[in-house]
Structure 1
Amino acid sequence: MLRRVLSTLVITVTAGLAAIPANAQSQSAAKVQPGEGRPYEIADSEVWDVPDPVSRRGYQVFVALPPSYAKEPQRRYPVLYVTDADYAFPIIRQINRRLNLDGPKVEEFILVGLSYAKGEDGAVSRRRDYTPTPNGPSTAPASAIHGQGQAYQAYLRDQVKPFIAARYRTDAARALFLGHSYGSLLGAQILFTEPGLFSGYILGSPSLWYDKRHALGLEAGYAAENRDLPAKVYLYVGEYEALRKGDRRYSQTVDMVADNRTLEAALRGRKYPKLSLKSEVLNDEDHLTVAPRGFTQGLKYLLPAR
């Protein structure tokens, strides 16, 4: 009788496991954390110091390698560089992991998080490094420094990308950029001044309002001198980022939905042969809630599984 019960249990458990996707089973073994009050660690991640010799500021890059990296030593991978890494790096890593749990939805890639300057508050770093001109908003602290986005762009080009290319098996033709808010303002600056630095861009809720819509001027300047824009671009913004006075769900200061549509219309009107563009207004989202959903849709657009 006991043998019959044990046999039934084995069959039941085995059948239950068979119903779980193999990928989900392999992904379920979480890293054992160190415990004893020590900080939580992100599994399978690396941190490297990559200082900027020009500004003499210390920066770090956070790296997460794809599951197949060690198993396929001849394979090269696209690289996704993300700004505001303290926030975006762990979120995008987990979004990517979950998208592929039940079969591949997104191609594997190397994830590189771009840190704030060492020893600085994030707001200080991003105001300075992600903005294109010194004309910051009136709401910023009087001591705030803006407008060093071109210097940071040069740092990405001359320091970060070569560091990653030398250390990892990267696909040189597929370096991708992701930014949100000021981070995507930086991305827009790169797209319209040095588009070949990246082959694809996820620009989320870009702060196009900055300095009298300076970024839209960059777009017009690029169009005046060029007949093509070889890039794949995903734009997203939240529904509640539209301006609607008196309704607290919506923006009360700037209309980022209208600005996003202006940029989309301008790019479509150029009829660039090698530009692939998708733009979405994501419903029921505001500037603070929209990023994870935008990240997800952007990954699916830029890196669909082959």
Structure 2
Amino acid sequence: MTRRLLNLIVFSFICSCWISPTIANENIWPAYEIPRSIVRTITSENLGRSYDLYIKLPPNFHDEENKARRYPVLYLNDGTYCFQTAAGITHMPMNSGGFEHAILVGISYAEGEAGVASRSRDLTPTIPKNLNEGHGAKYEHGGAAEYLAFLRDEVVPFVEREYRGDASRKILVGQSYGGLFGAYVLVTDPTAFTDYILTSASLWHTESVMFDFEKKFASSNTKMPARVYFAIGEMETNPGRERNMVEDQTRFAATLRSRNYEGLEVRDVIIPSATHKTTFPIGLTKGLMWMLEGPNP
């Protein structure tokens, strides 16, 4: 037996001793936890439903010299997915000065409800005329106004009171239906948040009704004091594939610019080769490079 073969046999035995027990007993190991993160549950008096808030505090939040400091806050819809993604994206930049220190707040789906049911209701402003629109079409829709009131009147005050959120730096983040919801907030109550990062926004929803909301807003308003960052993947279409979501975003951003709203800053990008499932991390990173640029970008 050669030395090389002997080494391979020994190595294989060692690997089997290490790997097999890990696989067989994986449930005995503790779960990985996101540093400086906590979960708080908030029950809405207006909605009569409970939601978890996934909160990640910035580095040195509890240090004595920061006791009076207030921080920008990212409010992330679809918290089950978006919070974890944002926590990873911001970890190194916040630690190294690439991004400002900020608080992350992911909002879960309603307690006891499937995610698709909760988001279909909470993140859409209208009821689809075509019941085949989107994978959640069979669920309740049209609850965006009530959900916005919940965020604005209950979630935001809670975060600002309990965790020193800065009332002048509120960033709403939304992906897909969350992007649709963010666009709805922007053109109905733009001062509810100061900044918006909206990726893969479902502007096709209910026959592109968001363009009607914007037109109505423009008929009686000349100011929109907000920064908004749109990102869409080059390959994105709506669930029925009959609408090009890239064209929707381009047209919506162009419409906003054409109004010359006082105080509005708009940036929109198309992410090369990205799809509906891969746009969010890239779009969020690019949006934060603009809105949370740190001292060492």
Q: TM-score range by the shorter chain?
A: 0.7 to 0.9
1:55 maps to which of 23, 47, 51:
47
1:4 alignment counterpart: none
CA–CA separation in structure 2 for the residues paired with 1:39 and 1:93 = 16
Q: Is 2:123–2:143's contact at 8 Å kept on the other side of the alignment? A: yes
1:28 alignment counterpart: none
Please, what TM-score do these two structures have when normalized by structure 1?
0.82
Counterpart amino acid of residue 164 in structure 2: R
1:190 paired with 2:206, answer: no
Q: What stretches of structure 2 of length at least 5 have no aligned partner?
A: 1-25
1:168 paired with 2:163, answer: yes
CA–CA separation in structure 2 for the residues paired with 1:57 and 1:145 = 15
Could you tell me how far 1:257 is from its partner in structure 2?
0.3
Q: How high is the sequence identity, in percent, across the aligned residues? A: 38
CA–CA separation in structure 1 for the residues paired with 2:233 and 2:130 = 21
Could you tell me how far 1:58 is from its partner in structure 2?
1.2
2:37 maps to which of 28, 31, 45:
45
Please, what TM-score do these two structures have when normalized by structure 2?
0.85
1:120 alignment counterpart: 113
Q: Equivalent residues in 2 for 1:255-270 (5 A)?
A: 255-270=244-259
Farther-moved stretch of structure 1 (196-205 vs 128-137): 128-137
Could you tell me how far 1:252 is from its partner in structure 2?
2.7
Counterpart amino acid of residue 87 in structure 1: Y
CA–CA separation in structure 1 for the residues paired with 2:100 and 2:217 = 31
Could you tell me how far 1:281 is from its partner in structure 2?
0.4
Runs (4 or more) in structure 1 with deviation over 4 Å come to 140-143
1:273 alignment counterpart: 262
1:204 alignment counterpart: 199
What per-residue deviation string (whole Å, max 9, x for no partner) do you get for residues 179-235 of structure 1? 000001111111111111100000111100001111111111111111121001100
1:96 alignment counterpart: 90
Q: Is 2:59–2:94's contact at 8 Å kept on the other side of the alignment? A: no
CA–CA separation in structure 1 for the residues paired with 2:84 and 2:111 = 19
Q: Is 2:180–2:201's contact at 8 Å kept on the other side of the alignment? A: yes
Could you tell me how far 1:68 is from its partner in structure 2?
2.4
CA–CA separation in structure 2 for the residues paired with 1:55 and 1:203 = 25
The SS at the match of 1:241 is coil
Q: What stretches of structure 1 of length at least 5 have no aligned partner?
A: 1-33, 244-249
Could you tell me how far 1:273 is from its partner in structure 2?
3.0
Q: Is 1:240–1:251's contact at 8 Å kept on the other side of the alignment? A: no
1:19 alignment counterpart: none
Could you tell me how far 1:91 is from its partner in structure 2?
1.0
